[in-house]
A and B are shown apart, each in its own frame.
Chain A
Amino acid sequence: MKSLAQALSVARKDLAIELRTKESINAAGAFAVVILLLFSFAFDPGADATREIGGGLLWLVFAFAGALIFNRGFARELPNDCLDTLLSSAVSGASLLLGKSFANLLMLLAVEFLSLFVFGIFYDVRWWLRPLELAALCVLATWGISVIGAVFGALTVNLRLRELMLPVIIYPLLIPLLIAAIEITNALFSNRPLGSYELLWGRVLLVFDIVFTALAMALAETILVN
């Protein structure tokens, strides 16, 4: 319980900084819109096929935008030795990673919400037909992305090539999660009922979230020793 309270404090701190500076959200949101615009030149945006591949387009945008948020997650603690102060405080490594993951989750969800609006307008996709299922999917899949982002954001924070290394490492790791999210999103956009195939992918998402959250908590101290 104390760990959760500490994690929420870290998340609150990160979100307060973000609300004041808006550096990650603005960059990630603008980046997501630009990518959605660029996709319209790659194929005919009015075709029915857009609805069928819409899930893939969106989750690629979310994953790309996420990398911008995750790069800043720990990097913003570097000036004034804030990271050293955090590590020597009473907050445990697991709580710190969990808090960063919560903050990543909320920031990425905000970018996803904005992207869905833009996507609906640009590509004539009615994403609001199944709002509850889509919201549950976004939270489940974004949590997995956020945890991986927090772990590898911490792992690469002191590297010379931080901005380059983070995407190279996280995208291959996120492949099962992205496949699952894309398959379910495509079913939702096509307004198909969720059958056993989509539920299988739902279970993949759950397993991914549980396994990597547990692993992140177990290896938190190893990753965060500065």
Chain B
Amino acid sequence: MRDKFVVALAVAAGVLLAFNLYRIFLVLPDEALQGAIYRIIFFHVPAAITGMIGYFAALLLSLAYLSFGNFRYDSLAASVVEVSVVFSVVNIVTGSIWARVIWGIWWTWDYRLTSALVCVLIFSGYLMLRRAIDEPTQRARLSAALCVFGCIDVVIVWKSIEWFRTQHPGPVLSIRTGGGRIDPAMEQMLYLNFAAILMIAIALVLIRTRQEATAREIDSLRRIANAA
């Protein structure tokens, strides 16, 4: 049942992504000032939002693990962080490509770029910590604690670096600006592609969660075999 759901979700995400790609590259016109490169926003912004949603979900799942001690929450948190890091890297790479064309540089120490990089570093530390601990209960407990610290730190990092330096373009989505900063057709496309990327992320999380559960089962069987 669950396998069928994952396959159905992945297929639906694939179909929606194909439709979006057709619209993005063949239907929507170039942007007046930026030309064709503006299309990267349809991947850059959804990847950033997906990553952020993932970190917030990981915080809740880590708190749930610390409260209830159920390994399902730990597996889910680890999978969510892993997928979120991937989408954050997509966000940084697409942003870098856009910056090279528009600003003429691959990287600038702007607050959002720096904050996004710090997020990736904090949660890469989380993934490295998990690899460094063999004992499953200890691994789940300590990585949940690190996740809580990391998520709360991300909020302070974001505000600090915003006060420190700002160069990034301002928000464009109507939900933040009240409208007028982006063409409605482009904004609709942005939301549609966000839906496709979020569906891909959920499918990846479900696949990774099952792998985590299987890895834990194999590990416990190995321990039993070694003890016998």
Interface of A with B (CB < 8 Å)? Answer: 148, 151-152, 155-156, 158-161, 165, 168-169, 172-173, 175-176, 179-180, 183, 200, 204, 207-208, 211-212, 215, 219, 222-223, 225
Q: Please, could you name 9 A-B residue pairs with CB atoms under 8 Å apart, sorted by A?
A: A155-B146, A168-B125, A173-B122, A173-B149, A173-B150, A175-B157, A200-B163, A207-B156, A222-B141
* A165 engages B129 (CB within 8 Å): yes
Out of B132, B149, B152, B160, name the residue touching A175 (CB < 8 Å): B160
Interface of B with A (CB < 8 Å)? Answer: 66, 118, 121-122, 125, 128-129, 132-133, 138, 141-142, 144-146, 148-150, 152-153, 156-157, 159-161, 163-164
- Knowing A172-B125, A207-B156, the reply to whether A179 touches B149 (Cβ < 8 A) is no
* A215 engages B149 (CB within 8 Å): yes
Interface of B is mostly: helix
Out of B145, B153, B156, name the residue touching A155 (CB < 8 Å): B145
Chain B residues in 8 Å Cβ range of A172: 118, 121-122, 125, 153
Interface of A is mostly: helix
CA distance A223 to B145 in the complex (A): 7
Nearest CB of B to A118, in Å: 28
Nearest to A165 among chain B residues (CB) is B132
* A151 engages B161 (CB within 8 Å): no
* A212 engages B132 (CB within 8 Å): no
Given contact pairs A151-B149, A152-B146, A168-B125, a sample of 8 additional A-B residue pairs in the complex whose CB atoms are under 8 Å apart? A155-B142, A155-B146, A176-B161, A179-B161, A212-B149, A212-B152, A222-B141, A225-B141
Nearest CB of B to A28, in Å: 22
* A169 engages B125 (CB within 8 Å): yes
CA distance A175 to B154 in the complex (A): 10
CA distance A211 to B83 in the complex (A): 28
Nearest to B119 among chain A residues (CB) is A172
Nearest CB of B to A195, in Å: 14
Chain B residues in 8 Å Cβ range of A155: 129, 142, 145-146
CA distance A4 to B157 in the complex (A): 30
* 4 closest residue pairs by CB, A with B: A176-B160, A172-B121, A169-B125, A176-B156
Chain A residues in 8 Å Cβ range of B161: 175-176, 179
* B153 engages A173 (CB within 8 Å): yes
Nearest to A183 among chain B residues (CB) is B164
Nearest CB of A to B187, in Å: 32
* B160 engages A161 (CB within 8 Å): no
